[in-house]
Amino acid sequence: MTLAQCADNPAEDAGKQSPDYVRISAAAAMELRLVRGRFLRDCSCGCINLLQNYDVSCTANCTYCGLARTREGESVDKSFIRVDWPLYPTSLVAEKVAEKEARSGVGRVCVSQVHHPRAYPDLIAISQAIHQAAPAVPLSALVSASTLNEERLVEVKDVGVDIIGVGLDAVTPELFSNTRGKGAKGPHSWEYHWKMIRAARRLFGPMKVNCHIMVGLGETDRDLMELFHNLKEEQIAAYLFSFNPEEGTAMEAAPRAPLHRLRRVQLVKNLVEEHGLPREAVGFNDAGEIARLEAPELMVRRAIAGGKAFMTDGCPDRQGEMTCNRPYGSYRPGEPFRDYPFRPEADDLAVIGKEMRLEDIWRP
């Protein structure tokens, strides 16, 4: 996919705010034919990801995020997960979603909140606009839990949203506080996020709530594994994202997770979620890194060959297949895939095998 052709003109975007305007991922803008471009290897973008837009961007201050309050630059210049998000009238986006649905179907639409006083009413307004234009298209809300309460979650469901995504990102209370909460001069609380995650789980049902989880913020593999098991037990989906530093943020100089680490985490997560790997099958060294995997050869070979472990984690379409594949969400064109927006083929699996260096932790 080329991002260069995206029409993103900060000067023209000033003053155009939600709910009348929304940002749309560059890949989704191509999918809706709002901009021209080409996807790599004929991979399409299944989910139309929308993002609220305000003149002050986000009033939270997460240390890794391009929209953070104290990041330098005007709001309209700021990027979200390192890619451009062109701005369009919400009514035009709704119309284009309906057209694409009639032409070839739309896997899903997702409305992402930022942290802003208008974020909640505008989530409702934008979701309503999309749902009225294309009522059969599944709708997710990627929420900022701090803007919600239980009553508001009910209203979100009533306007047609069937899946709630929660940007948890940091996986321990301390890390959360340091990157999103008090330690970062931000508004978010670990306890309140979990209160909303569990309220959403009760209201929306099993596997209809997901937590976005970032690999590379400073957590250990042990922290991640603990959370994967706990979320599985609560029938809440765990969706991995790979930290990718953004210029001008507090974490701009922080390193990304090494690729071999990410691949091992992806594999073991898949073994836990889909192959019943027990907690005691993974051992850790003093630094909390995966040091030992005790799993049957057939299980491991099947998980690798299936390829799903290394694909983007995302909400499903009407058939239950992952559709939110976010091409280039956590890596640049030309860089190795962090997560694959399509099922990896044999050549890809050979690359993944080398990246993963599994022989250091597992022997058949």
Residues forming contacts to ligand SF4 in the complex (CB under 6 A) are 47, 49, 58, 60, 62, 65, 67-68, 108, 110, 114-115, 140, 142, 144, 163, 165, 167, 210, 212, 239, 314-315, 324
Place of tokens 């993002």: 51
- The DSSP output letter for 181 is S
Cβ pair 106, 134 in contact under 8 A:
yes
The C-alpha atoms of residue 165 and residue 44 are separated, in whole angstroms, by 22
User: Which residues have C-beta within 8 Å of that of residue 300, sequence separation ≥ 6?
Assistant: 267, 271, 293, 358, 362, 364
Of 347, 353, 346, nearest to 362 by C-alpha is 353
Phi, psi of 359 (to 5 degrees): -60, -20
- Least distance between ligand SF4 and beta carbon 210 (Å): 6
CB nearer ligand SF4, residue 142 or residue 217: 142
Q: Which is nearer to ligand SF4, 212 or 232 (CB)?
A: 212
Nearest residue (CB) to ligand SF4, 18 versus 49? 49
Pick between residue 195 and residue 302 the one whose CB is nearest to ligand SF4.
Answer: 195
CA angle 5, 344, 219 (to 5 degrees): 85
Nearer to ligand SF4 by C-beta: 1 or 300?
A: 1
For residue 290, what are its two tokens? Answer: 């995966």
By residue count, the chain amounts to 364
**Residue showing tokens 């709001």:** 75
The whole-angstrom separation of Cα 104 and Cα 110 is: 18
Ramachandran bin of 308, using left for φ above 0, alpha for ψ from -120 to 50, beta for the remaining angles: alpha
Nearer to ligand SF4, 8 or 146 (CB): 146
User: Which residue's CB is nearer to ligand SF4, number 77 or number 289?
Assistant: 77
Q: Of the two residues 167 and 341, which places its CB atom closer to ligand SF4 in the complex?
A: 167
d(CA 319, CA 333): 29
Structure tokens at 310: 């290394």
> Residue 19: is the preceding peptide bond cis (ω within 30°)?
yes
DSSP state of 79: -
- Provide, rounded to whole angstroms, the least separation between the CB of residue 19 and ligand SF4: 17
What secondary structure does DSSP assign to 220-260, as a single string? -HHHHHHHHHHHHHTT-EEEEEE----TTSTTTTPPPPPHH
CB nearer ligand SF4, residue 49 or residue 75: 49
